[in-house]
Amino acid sequence: MTEKLMTYAIGRGVEHFDALAVRKIVRDAETDGFRFSSLILGIVKSTPFQMRESK
C-alpha cells in the first residue's frame, strides 16, 4: 500500500533508490499502529516527495 501511495504522490513509479524511504515510512507507521494518517505524513515528509519535479 505504501508503494502505491508513494507512486501516486510523486507522480512516477517507485524505483530501487526509493526503497530506503519506503522502508522508513513503513517502520515509522508501525510504531503508530499502521494508521493511514501515519503513512500519508511519512510520504509527505519523505525525500522523494520533497524532491519531486512539479509540472
Q: What percent of the chain has pLDDT over 70?
A: 96
pLDDT at 55: 63
In angstroms, the CA 8 to CA 19 distance is 15
pLDDT at 54 over 90: no
Average pLDDT over every residue of 17-46: 96
> In 10 A of CB 25, how many CB atoms?
25
Per the domain annotation, does 55 fall within a domain? no
The pLDDT of residue 53 is: 80
Number of domains composing the chain: 1
Tell me the per-residue pLDDT of 4-18, one tens digit each, with 9 for 90 and over: 999 999 999 999 999
- The reply to whether 39 falls in a domain is yes
Residue 25, domain extent: 2-50
